Amino acid sequence: MSENDRIGTKEEVGNLNPGSRSLNLTVKVISKNPIREVVSRRDGTSHRVTEALVGDETGSILLTLWDDTIESVTDGDVVVVNNGYIRLFRGSMRLNIGRFGSLEASEEDIENVNTENNMSDKQYEQERRYSGYRQSYQSRGYGGRRNY
C-alpha cells in the first residue's frame, strides 16, 4: 500500500481555510522558531511549544508543535500530517496535529516550497468564544424586550 493510499485524499497548503478539518498533508519543514515555555490554563502544568514554517508547492503555514513532537522534526524534513486541523491564533491560521492526529516522516520529497503564499500571514476575523453577560442573560429569556 502506498503512502497516498493509506492517508486518503491529500490536501494542498494553498487551499486551506480557517474551517479546514481532517487534513492529510505532506509538507516540508522550512524552519523552526525558538521553543517557549507555557503554562496550561486548564491544570497549571508547564509545556513546551514552538511553531515550524512548513509548506508545499502551493503555499506555507505555521505548524504548532507541542512537547515531544518538537524534536520529531528538523529543518529540511518532509513529513506527513494525518488528521490535522486549522485553528485561528490571534486572527491567523495555524496547522495543528492535536491528540487525534499524527506526524510521521515521509518518503516523498518536496523540491520547492512556496513561501510567498504564507497562509499564516493572512488575517481572519476570529469569532468570540464568550458572547458576554448581557447577550447570554437575554438569550435565556431573562430581560430584553417584552412582546405584550
What CATH code is carried by the domain that includes residue 32?
A: 2.40.50.140
Domain assignment present for residue 111? The answer is yes
27 in a domain, yes or no? Answer: yes
The pLDDT value recorded for residue 125 is 86
User: In whole angstroms, how far apart are CA 95 and each of 74, 106, 137?
Assistant: 17, 18, 35
Is residue 66 situated within a structural domain?
A: yes
Determine the average pLDDT of the residues in 78-91. Answer: 96
> Which carries the bigger pLDDT value, residue 143 or residue 128?
128
Q: Measured at the alpha carbon of residue 126, what is the angle toward residues 99 and 85, in degrees to the nearest 5?
A: 25
CA angle 125, 15, 20 (to 5 degrees): 60
Kind and range of the H or E element at 6? helix 3-7
54: how many CB neighbours lie within 10 A of its CB? Answer: 27
147 within some domain: no
Could you please report the per-residue DSSP string of 86-105? EEEETTEEEEE--TT-EEEE
Q: Is the pLDDT of residue 3 over 50?
A: no
**Residues 70/50, Cβ–Cβ less than 8 Å:** yes
The amino acid sitting at 76 is G
Is residue 144 a part of any domain in this protein? no
d(CA 146, CA 90): 38
**Model pTM score:** 0.80
| 145: in domain | no
Does 131 fall in a domain?
A: yes
In which domain, by residue range, is 72 found?
A: 3-139
Q: How many domains does the chain have?
A: 1
